[in-house]
Amino acid sequence: MKTQRTIASFSLSLIKRKNQKNIILKVTPPFGDLVLSAPFHISNKDLEAFVEARKDWIIKNQAKFAKARNTRDEGLIYLWGRAYKLEFIKDNKNTFKLCDSKIIFFYKDDLSRPLKDKLLDDFYRKSLEARIAEAIKEAEDLTGLRADAYRLRKMKTRWGSCNTSKRRVWLNTNLAKYEPICLTYVLVHELCHLLEPNHGKRFYALVERFFPEYKKAEALLKEPKP
């Protein structure tokens, strides 16, 4: 039988009742989770006393794991409009893992500002790449317009751009921070430039015809997201 509970002020990830003689307590990597295995006849009160007696040992070993993985809590990160807790953990490669409530970035070198920026930039690029084909089809179906090429890059002042002569659309990788409606809107917006290069009344009439919710998307894009 497996249960999860708090004993002696410690949260145990797992308690196993087994046919065994002794109580066994482990601090497991990488997060220092506690796993307790005990005979069936040992009472919860005795288990609590067992864990309490090893309090210093538990804290010492959990501290070792924390130091080894060099975890850094960096606040919040946004993906498709949803906020996640941002965490960095030192590892043997640069990658990331999406969990229910947080996004963990693993890194193999010292976490300098340039490396942190690169990890985040790569994450948003990959996130946008995973959704871009579906969004392009939606925008092209809405407008009946087609670009010859779609490319991604991080931009400081624009969400997108359109080279009308080459029929090439560029998208800001930071769009992956915002609600999916924003990506669709920017695609529609840039495709409309194939018919009207300037941001005049005719242009926005086209945008509104193809995408009536464009003002909602514009309002969302004005909200700063780190």
Count of beta carbons in the 10 Å neighbourhood of residue 76? 12
Residues 6+ apart with CB under 8 A from 140: 146, 191
CATH code given to domain 128-221? 3.30.2010.10
CA 40 – CA 104 distance, rounded (Å): 37
Whole-number pLDDT of residue 72:
55
Whole-number pLDDT of residue 158:
94
Q: Are 51 and 58 in contact (CB under 8 A)?
A: yes
Q: Which residue has the tokens 């999916």?
A: 180
Whole-number pLDDT of residue 11:
54
CA 44 – CA 22 distance, rounded (Å): 14
Measuring CA to CA, which residue among 216, 173, 180 is closest to residue 82? Answer: 180
Per-block mean pLDDT, blocks of 10 residues, the chain (226 long): 44 72 81 81 85 84 63 76 88 85 86 86 96 97 97 94 96 96 97 95 96 94 86
Q: Where are the domains of the chain?
A: 2-69, 72-122, 128-221
Whole-number pLDDT of residue 129:
97
pTM: 0.67
154 alpha carbon, distance to own chain's centre? 17
3-state secondary structure 79-141: ECCEEEEEEEEECCCCEEEECCCEEEEEECCCCCHHHHHHHHHHHHHHHHHHHHHHHHHHHHH
